[in-house]
Amino acid sequence: MIEKSYEYAVSDAKHIEKLVDVDPVMINHMILTKGDFVPDHHANSLVHMIVVRGNLTLELGEQKPHSYAKGNIVNIPYGTFMKVRNDHEEVCEFFVVKAPSPRVYDQK
């Protein structure tokens, strides 16, 4: 086979998993229930968050929180301070694409 296949969790419970981690790209998959969050941090690469279910609440830098519904792709510049959470009743599911992998930024 030429291709490589990756599986990800299909659930309604909180779940954070790294799917792909190669130099060109890192892809994470996250499921957050109401009130769940990711620890506050700075973006360690150029980040794209792809919302596939529910609503994602992001507080970036000094901005007020914004919510992004399924069907949105949010671009977050390298180094941006991030608060990532689910403030909504519906389960939130999204993919995080970091390109290049943060490991490449660490080499600079």
Residue 11's CB is within 10 A of a number of other CB atoms, namely 11
Domains in the chain: boundaries: 15-106
pTM of the full structure: 0.94
- Please give the average pLDDT of every successive group of 10 residues along the chain, which has 108 residues: 94 96 96 97 96 98 97 97 98 97 77
How many helical (H) and strand (E) elements, i.e. helices and strands, does the chain have?
1, 9
* CA 87 to centroid of chain Cα atoms: 15
CATH number assigned to the domain covering 15-106: 2.60.120.10
